[in-house]
Amino acid sequence: RFLYLSHFTNKEMENRENDDDKKVVAEITARCFIPTLITTTSWEGFHFVGHDILITEAMDCYGAVVWPSALVLCYFLETNVKQYNMVDKNVIEIGAGTGLVSIVASLLGAHVTATDLPELLGNLQYNISRNTKMKCKHLPQVKELSWGIALDKNFPRSSNNFDYILAADVVYAHPFLEELLLTFDHLCKETTIILWVMKFRLERENKFVDRFKELFDLEEISNFPSLNIKLYKAMKKNRRSA
């Protein structure tokens, strides 16, 4: 869907992009199913990597629901296993929220560390345990990572060895954008690949992309105009080897 042949006019390319967008977004949203039972806890179901994944949500904070960006990243990981093979890879997710992306990466064979703010970790651990126990090659870890805080202590650079950093919808109107950038930089070594899904909302936070480009080589892999979402691949700038 990302190859544009030179004999297409701009209008034709735009029409093809819109058709692709609608088709892929419909495929992505079809992975979510709503429970038929009425229960006291609120949860949603998702279908990825041949598994039904049940996610418990809470309505009281940002990280406690599954955001569309997470679905986009899960779908990307599932449908690009050849190019982005997760088997035995060392993966960290920042701002993991309810844990769907970390669960999918674990089901795909990665060694995953799912991280978020301390208040999110109980629900995150619950969802991760419930959906990965006896189903994954490597048991995922859940760990606190508040952006920019105690990074040297909790994630010393010398022991960071991540093949992938995953991030879905971590840029929005919060006051920690510089700390977020610092965190990406801290966790990323020369060979680390960042897969980051960005939901475009307000101008101020959208500028984060330009700040990000100062430290990382950024490649747009996928664009979903109907969702205002882009999927980026990034690697550290000026690296000696890739």
Ligand X SMILES: C[S@@+](CC[C@H](N)C(=O)[O-])C[C@H]1O[C@@H](n2cnc3c(N)ncnc32)[C@H](O)[C@@H]1O
Residue least distant from ligand X (Cβ): 63
Residues 120, 151, 177, 181: which binds ligand X (CB under 6 A)? 120
Residue 164 CB neighbours (<10 A): 20
- Under the binding rule (CB under 6 A), the answer on residue 127 touching ligand X is no
Closest CB to ligand X among residues 97, 109: 97
Give the pair of three-digit tokens for residue 182.
């610092």
Helix, strand, or coil (residue 36): coil
Per-residue binding letters, 44-83, with ligand X (x by CB under 6 A): ------------------xx--xx-xx-------------
Contacts of 38 (CB under 8 A, 6+ apart): none
Least Å distance between CB 167 and ligand X? 7
Asked if 228 and 201 count as a contact pair (C-beta separation under 8 A), the reply is yes
Q: Which helix (H) or strand (E) holds 57?
A: strand 51-57
Least Å distance between CB 4 and ligand X? 29
Residues 51, 58, 160, 176: which binds ligand X (CB under 6 A)? 176
Q: Which stretch binds ligand X (CB under 6 A): 46-54, 89-97, 127-135, 229-237?
A: 89-97
- Under the binding rule (CB under 6 A), the answer on residue 113 touching ligand X is no
Contacts of 195 (CB under 8 A, 6+ apart): 73, 76, 77, 84, 164, 165, 166, 167, 231, 232, 233
- Under the binding rule (CB under 6 A), the answer on residue 103 touching ligand X is no
Q: Which stretch binds ligand X (CB under 6 A): 33-41, 94-102, 128-136, 227-235?
A: 94-102
Q: Which of 80, 239, 234 is nearest to 170 (CA)?
A: 234
Asked if 196 and 167 count as a contact pair (C-beta separation under 8 A), the reply is yes
Q: Which stretch binds ligand X (CB under 6 A): 11-19, 116-124, 201-209, 216-224?
A: 116-124
What is the C-alpha to C-alpha distance for residues 29 and 144, in angstroms, rounded to an integer?
29
* Exposed e or buried b per residue across 108-118, where buried means at least 16 C-beta atoms within 10 angstroms of its C-beta: bbbbbbbbbbe
Contacts of 64 (CB under 8 A, 6+ apart): 57, 58, 97, 98, 120, 123
Least Å distance between CB 108 and ligand X? 17
Q: Which stretch binds ligand X (CB under 6 A): 34-42, 78-86, 105-113, 163-171?
A: 163-171
Per-residue binding letters, 4-43, with ligand X (x by CB under 6 A): ----------------------------------------
Q: Which stretch binds ligand X (CB under 6 A): 132-140, 170-178, 187-195, 233-241?
A: 170-178
Q: Which helix (H) or strand (E) holds 53?
A: strand 51-57
Residues that bind ligand X (CB under 6 A): 62-63, 66-67, 69-70, 95-98, 116-117, 120, 145-147, 168-170, 172, 174, 176
